[in-house]
């Protein structure tokens, strides 16, 4: 946190030390140096005259004050980094197959060996209640193939309950260093108890305990409450260091009917190629909609 703050504030602070206001300094930096890591600017930020090395989160003036909160208006319109150049576009002739699973595998394997991507399997999962109120959160992809995309969670969590009443979901992967994104849409089904149990016991014991003691998404009185439950369960973990999988914990598979591949271009003419299941009776015209394999068609979408 300290390093982050120092990083975010050091440029404007250095400029402020020369007697220039933070707003002026920040906007000129953002306008003139498009490749610089973005920083926050604020219309209402106070002038800070201390040198950067004297700053910490404890003594940045007004950082947590009600005054600052009331007048908060953070302008981040200048946050912008370059994406791919014109010669690195993603075109139809680069598709590795005319169905989306091979293409997903191709991009995923690349993401897994790309520097700066520590969890290529981290994905955002969007669910909705039966009356359409959405929520999303990160989960980890734990397997994929033509059957779909698998993840594990607590069936009584918020997402678990929403999936119970509405199985339609969307997933989103964003691999920032590659400027690539994949969106999946489809419905979920629960994995078998056997598959969930096998995966549960493949996890480190600490993760098994953590999952077993956590009433995920429920309010709890404090962190101590959870640590106490963890201690109790750990005391009862037998010789074989194994915890029973809670009945309420298990996996889902997302069975997709749409998978979209996105690659970002600096000029904002991004590439979007969407695979979707062919509608009954649909005949691809090979202009807008192209014939794929295994019941899929694909089309380019405007960015």
Ligand X SMILES: Cc1cc2nc3c(=O)[nH]c(=O)nc-3n(C[C@H](O)[C@H](O)[C@H](O)COP(=O)(O)O)c2cc1C
Q: What is the DSSP string of 55-107?
A: --TTTSTTTT-HHHHHT--EE-TT-----B-GGG---GGG-SSSSHHHHHHHH
- Which of 157, 196, 208, 265 is close enough to bind ligand X by CB under 6 A? 157
Per CB under 6 A, 156 contacts ligand X: no
x-marked contacts with ligand X along 160-199 as a string, rule CB under 6 A = ----------------------------------------
Residue 113 has a CB neighbour count (10 Å cut-off) of 8
Between the alpha carbon of residue 113 and those of residues 90, 105, 175, the distances in Å are 19, 13, 11
Nearer Cβ to ligand X (97/226): 226
Sign of CA dihedral 65, 66, 69, 71: negative
Closer to ligand X by Cβ: residue 89 or 216: 216
**Which residues, numbered 193-232, are part of the site for ligand X (CB under 6 A)?**
216-217
For residue 183, indicate whether it is catalytic: no
Out of 158, 190, 203, 278, the only residue in the binding site for ligand X (CB under 6 A) is 158
Compute the distance between CA of residue 67 and CA of residue 259 in angstroms, rounded to an integer: 46
Selected catalytic residue, list 3, 70, 223, 268: 268
Q: How far is the CB of 200 from ligand X (least distance, A)?
A: 12
Closest contact distance (angstroms) between CB of 154 and ligand X is 6
- Which stretch, 15-23, 37-45, 137-145, 252-260, contacts ligand X (CB under 6 A)? 137-145
* Span of 16-24, 149-157, 165-173, 222-230 interacting with ligand X by CB under 6 A: 149-157
**Binding map of ligand X across residues 7-46, x = CB under 6 A, - = no contact:** ----------------------------------------
Q: Tell the smallest beta-carbon distance from residue 137 to ligand X (Å).
A: 4
**E strands, the chain, where?**
41-42, 74-75, 122-128, 134-140, 143-145, 148-154, 168-175, 180-190, 249-263, 271-277, 290-291, 296-300
Closer Cβ to ligand X, 33 or 137, answer by number? 137
Q: At what angle do helices 223-236 and 205-213 cross, to 10 degrees?
A: 120
Helix, strand or coil, per DSSP, at residue 198: helix
Paired with 171 in beta bridges are: 125, 184
Which amino acids are annotated catalytic? 268
Where do contacts with ligand X occur on this chain (CB under 6 A)? Answer: 119, 122, 135, 137-140, 151-154, 157-159, 216-217
């Amino acid at each position: 946190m300290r390093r982050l703050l120092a990083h975010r504030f050091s440029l404007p602070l250095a400029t402020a030390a020369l007697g220039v206001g933070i707003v002026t300094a920040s906007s000129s930096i953002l306008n003139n140096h498009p490749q610089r890591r973005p920083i926050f600017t604020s219309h209402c930020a106070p002038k800070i005259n201390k040198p950067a090395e004297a700053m910490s989160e404890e003594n940045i003036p007004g950082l947590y004050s009600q005054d600052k909160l009331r007048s908060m208006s953070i302008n981040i319109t200048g946050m912008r980094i370059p994406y791919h150049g014109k010669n690195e576009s993603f075109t139809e002739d680069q598709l590795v197959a005319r169905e989306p699973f091979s293409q997903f595998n191709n991009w995923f394997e690349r993401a897994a060996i790309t520097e700066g991507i520590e969890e290529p399997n981290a994905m955002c999962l969007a669910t909705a209640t039966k009356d359409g109120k959405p929520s999303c959160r990160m989960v980890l992809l734990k397997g994929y193939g033509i059957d779909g995309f698998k993840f594990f969670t607590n069936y009584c969590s918020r997402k678990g309950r929403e999936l119970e009443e509405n199985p339609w979901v969307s997933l989103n992967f964003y691999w920032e260093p590659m400027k690539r994104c994949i969106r999946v849409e489809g419905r979920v089904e629960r994995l078998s108890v056997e598959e969930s149990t096998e995966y549960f016991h493949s996890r480190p014991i600490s993760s098994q305990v953590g999952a077993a003691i956590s009433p995920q998404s429920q309010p709890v009185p404090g962190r101590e409450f959870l640590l106490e439950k963890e201690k109790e369960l750990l005391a009862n973990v037998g010789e074989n260091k194994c915890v029973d999988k809670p009945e309420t914990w298990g996996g889902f598979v997302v069975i997709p009917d749409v998978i979209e591949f996105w690659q970002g271009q600096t000029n904002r003419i991004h590439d979007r190629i969407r695979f979707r299941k062919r509608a009954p009776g649909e005949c691809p015209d090979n202009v807008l909609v192209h014939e794929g394999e295994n019941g899929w068609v694909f089309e380019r979408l405007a960015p």
